[in-house]
Amino acid sequence: MAAVTARSLVVSSLVGAGAAAVAGAGALAWGTLAEPRMFTLRRVDLPVLPENAWPIRILHLSDLHIVPGQDRKSAWVSSLANLRPDLVVNTGDTLSHPKAVPAAVAAFGDLLDVPGAFVFGNNDFHAPLPKSPHLYFRKRGRSRRGPALPWQDLRAAQAERGWLDLTNARNSVTIRGQRIDLAGVDDPYTRRDRYEKIAGPADTAATVRIGVAHVPEPRVLDRFAQDGYDVLLAGHTHGGQIRVPGFGAIVTNCGIDRSRARGLSRWGASSWLHVSAGLGSSPYMPIRFCCRPEATLLTLRPREPQAAPLSRPHGTGHMPASEQSQAGAVIRPGNLR
């Protein structure tokens, strides 16, 4: 009897180990071959405008990490022009390859005909390098730099089409007679941000005030909130890139807490923070799990008493953006993280 019991335990252990190996292989295949291509549009309604203001539709793009040959991603991003946003905001890390600028411009496509604004991320200046995953869990010290990337060419390509460079700068755009004040900083991850160049109270005469940064570092977000910016837009985190069901993002790769790795949350007493999970990843870690690549259409609306923002995750894959906008169910923003 003892021998039979021991043999049964061995068999059970082997079966369990085999099942775990199969599940692990399946998850790895899904995370590398399937999910990184499941491009998703999210819709967020945000009541931050004065009474009687016209709604303002902002397309938030981030972390495209373009390399040549990503035709599927490029076509999907280009299709977002069908949404007819009022403003496009690109929160950086557009590049990941020295020859990526033409591909990035092709991806933006007709979106470049829409008013836009941008900041740069760390991988716009230097290409990613292979990195051990355990380093994401350690306090960041000095790190190696990859090959220099042509961020100046990317800036010229966006600016010559009228997009506003918010690198440590303030600017504004007027849409249907409504002034949107914008302020941005250079990349906080590489400590290029110089908030002192834009410091000071946001203009209360503007219809809405938006702060923009690549990395949602608390030290930067706090300054925006203190100066009275209504909406803060950032990326960089990739939403955690690998998320555990019931736990969320494993890591954020910056100073923000895991619960804010993607989606909408309050920051301070009167600001809303939206962190995009982005559309790409480092070519040396091309994996996403429970964290689909995304763009977000934020619709700013007049404030209402007790109004709560509504977020809608939308369809993925091959559907053009115009069709995706008809899919999905309404959920509360807390469920996005």
Residues 185 and 125 in one domain: yes
Q: Are 295 and 42 in contact (CB under 8 A)?
A: yes
Residues 135 and 249 in one domain: yes
First to last CA, the chain: 51
The whole-angstrom separation of Cα 218 and Cα 230 is 16
User: Could you tell me which residues come within 8 angstroms of residue 259 by beta carbon, excluding any fewer than 6 positions away?
Assistant: 248, 265, 337
The whole-angstrom separation of Cα 324 and Cα 297 is 11
User: Could you tell me which residues come within 8 angstroms of residue 225 by beta carbon, excluding any fewer than 6 positions away?
Assistant: 232, 267, 268, 269, 270, 271
Q: Report the predicted TM-score, pTM, of the whole model to 2 decimal places.
A: 0.84
Tokens representing 319 are 């559907």
Q: Are 36 and 288 in contact (CB under 8 A)?
A: yes
Residues 94 and 24 in one domain: no
Tokens representing 205 are 């005469």
Encoded amino acid at 66, one letter: I
The whole-angstrom separation of Cα 146 and Cα 163 is 27
**Residue 208: burial class (beta carbons within 10 Å; 0-12, 13-18, 19+):** buried
Provide the CA 244 distance to its chain's centre, in angstroms. Answer: 19
Residues 190 and 310 in one domain: yes
The whole-angstrom separation of Cα 112 and Cα 211 is 21
The whole-angstrom separation of Cα 76 and Cα 293 is 11
Half-sphere CA count of 330, side-chain side, radius 13 A: 4
Q: Residue 312 has what pLDDT? A: 60
The whole-angstrom separation of Cα 307 and Cα 328 is 21
Give rounded-to-5 percent helix, strand, coil for the chain.
30, 25, 45
Q: Is 118 helix (H, G, I), strand (E, B) or coil?
A: strand
Residues 60 and 31 in one domain: no
Residues 103 and 115 in one domain: yes
Residues 239 and 220 in one domain: yes
Of 92, 267, 266, give the one whose Cα is nearest residue 184: 92
Largest CA distance in the chain: 85
Q: Which domain holds residue 157?
A: 40-336
Q: Are 220 and 188 in contact (CB under 8 A)?
A: yes
Residues 281 and 218 in one domain: yes
User: Could you tell me which residues come within 8 angstroms of residue 5 by beta carbon, excluding any fewer than 6 positions away?
Assistant: none
Residues 127 and 31 in one domain: no
The whole-angstrom separation of Cα 148 and Cα 94 is 14
Q: What is the pLDDT of residues 266-288, one digit of tens each?
A: 999 999 999 999 999 999 999 99
Segment (H or E) for 122: helix 122-125
Residues 109 and 158 in one domain: yes
Q: Split the chain (337 residues) into runs of 10 and give each run's mean pLDDT.
A: 59 52 55 84 98 98 97 98 99 98 98 99 94 59 81 99 99 98 98 98 98 98 99 98 95 96 96 98 93 98 74 47 33 35
Of 121, 68, 127, give the one whose Cα is nearest residue 94: 121
The whole-angstrom separation of Cα 42 and Cα 80 is 12
Q: Residue 145 has what pLDDT? A: 83
Residues 104 and 230 in one domain: yes
User: Could you tell me which residues come within 8 angstroms of residue 132 by beta carbon, excluding any fewer than 6 positions away?
Assistant: none
Q: What is the pLDDT of residues 311-335, one digit of tens each?
A: 665 544 433 343 333 333 332 333 3
Residues 253 and 324 in one domain: yes
Number of domains, the chain: 2
Q: Is 231 helix (H, G, I), strand (E, B) or coil?
A: strand
